[in-house]
């Protein structure tokens, strides 16, 4: 029997990055962006290309801009662009929110300010130092998120149903079993109260902008179970159980219960990653 209080270590889930980045220069959306900016921009691929969406950067009027070209639903399933736009509007007044210049929902692109290096672009020692220096901003951001309720609800049931249908069609019994274990774990998490959840708080989605911590990529966000984000803080950012216990939803909860639910949420996060990768590889 697996000890559900033992926090799992990140497994080697593999990379879903495409070996060859497609040529984006013929993408018709670049002309739409140029029309919005009033000039052409020499767009180049950004550092990390593990994302399903091509992410580009370019210089315009002495400013460095970032352009995301939204992938199709098959390549980025689970992402909800309409929900992301609602979330971005809800968080725009917070210091940790990205500076969005234009979000074109129908045409499928998002233009924003460049917010500096992401945390995964630092060397290991430097990254650890930088993260420890911004713990207060990180925890403050999650504290804020746990108080944000007026955002669309993330539909976990639809996601689970999608995976079940996909793996049943492929007769993939291994991942079907993993899905059932995931669902069992998920519904043993505390179900109240739901609040804004990012669902993807790895280091690549955090940038340092002149001392300001900025959280990127809200395409999987919505009102959901906050234990998933809290488990990500422990896994990716080495946040301590004591620090987690000070967050609004943990106050007054015994430490052993917090550890139990964090371990359970960590298992859910790892399973969600594994199933997402398996489903995308079989697309």
Q: State how far the Cα of 166 lies from the Cα of 126, in Å rounded to an integer.
A: 42
**Structural domain of 254:** 29-281
List the structure tokens of 188: 């043993």
CA angle, 232 as apex, 227 and 237 as ends, to 5°?
135
Identify the residue whose tokens are 């767009």: 43
- Axis-axis angle for helices 173-186, 255-281 (nearest 10): 150
Query: SS3 of 134, please?
Result: coil
Q: Is position 20 within any domain?
A: no
The one-character DSSP state at 109 is E
Query: Do the Cβ atoms of 34 and 79 come closer than 8 Å?
Result: no
Q: Is position 42 within any domain?
A: yes
- Total-model pTM: 0.87
- Axis-axis angle for helices 255-281, 226-237 (nearest 10): 90
Q: Is position 12 within any domain?
A: no
Show pLDDT as tens, one digit a residue, over the chain (283 residues): 334 344 333 333 333 334 334 567 788 999 999 999 999 999 999 865 456 788 999 999 989 999 999 987 666 777 889 999 999 999 999 999 999 999 999 999 999 999 988 888 776 655 555 555 678 899 999 999 999 999 999 999 999 999 999 999 999 999 999 999 999 999 999 987 899 999 999 989 999 898 899 999 999 999 999 999 999 999 999 899 999 999 999 999 999 999 999 999 999 999 999 999 998 887 6
Q: Is position 5 within any domain?
A: no
**Strand residue runs (E) in the chain:** 44-45, 55-60, 63-69, 100-104, 109-113, 195-197, 206-209, 212-215, 222-224
Q: How many domains does the chain have?
A: 1
Q: For residue 203, give the CATH number of its domain.
A: 3.90.1200.10
Q: State how far the Cα of 27 lies from the Cα of 29, in Å rounded to an integer.
A: 5
Q: Is position 224 within any domain?
A: yes
Beta bridge partners of 208: 213
């Amino acid at each position: 029997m697996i000890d559900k209080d033992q926090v799992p270590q990140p497994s080697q889930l593999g990379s879903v990055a495409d070996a060859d980045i497609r040529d984006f220069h013929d993408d018709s959306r670049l002309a739409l962006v140029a029309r919005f900016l009033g000039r052409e921009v020499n767009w180049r691929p950004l550092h990390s290309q593990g994302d399903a969406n091509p992410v580009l950067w370019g210089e315009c009027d002495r400013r460095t801009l970032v352009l995301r070209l939204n992938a199709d639903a098959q390549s980025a399933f689970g992402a909800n662009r309409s929900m992301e736009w609602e979330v971005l509007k809800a968080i725009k007044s917070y210091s940790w929110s990205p500076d969005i210049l234009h979000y074109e929902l129908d045409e499928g692109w998002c233009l924003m300010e460049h917010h500096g290096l992401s945390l995964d672009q630092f060397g290991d020692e430097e990254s650890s130092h930088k993260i420890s220096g911004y713990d207060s901003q990180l925890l403050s951001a999650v504290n804020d998120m746990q108080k944000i309720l007026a955002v669309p609800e993330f539909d976990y049931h639809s996601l689970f149903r999608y995976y079940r249908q996909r793996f049943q069609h492929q007769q993939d019994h291994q991942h079907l079993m993993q899905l059932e274990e995931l669902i069992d774990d998920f519904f043993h998490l505390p179900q109240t109260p739901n609040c804004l959840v990012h669902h993807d708080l790895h280091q690549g989605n955090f940038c340092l902008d002149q001392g300001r911590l900025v959280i990127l990529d809200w395409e999987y966000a919505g009102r959901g179970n906050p234990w998933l984000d809290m488990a990500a803080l422990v896994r990716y950012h080495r946040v301590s159980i004591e620090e987690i216990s000070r967050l609004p939803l943990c106050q007054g909860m015994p430490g052993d219960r917090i550890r139990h639910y964090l371990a359970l949420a960590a298992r859910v996060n790892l399973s969600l990653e594994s199933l997402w990768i398996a489903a995308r590889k079989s697309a």
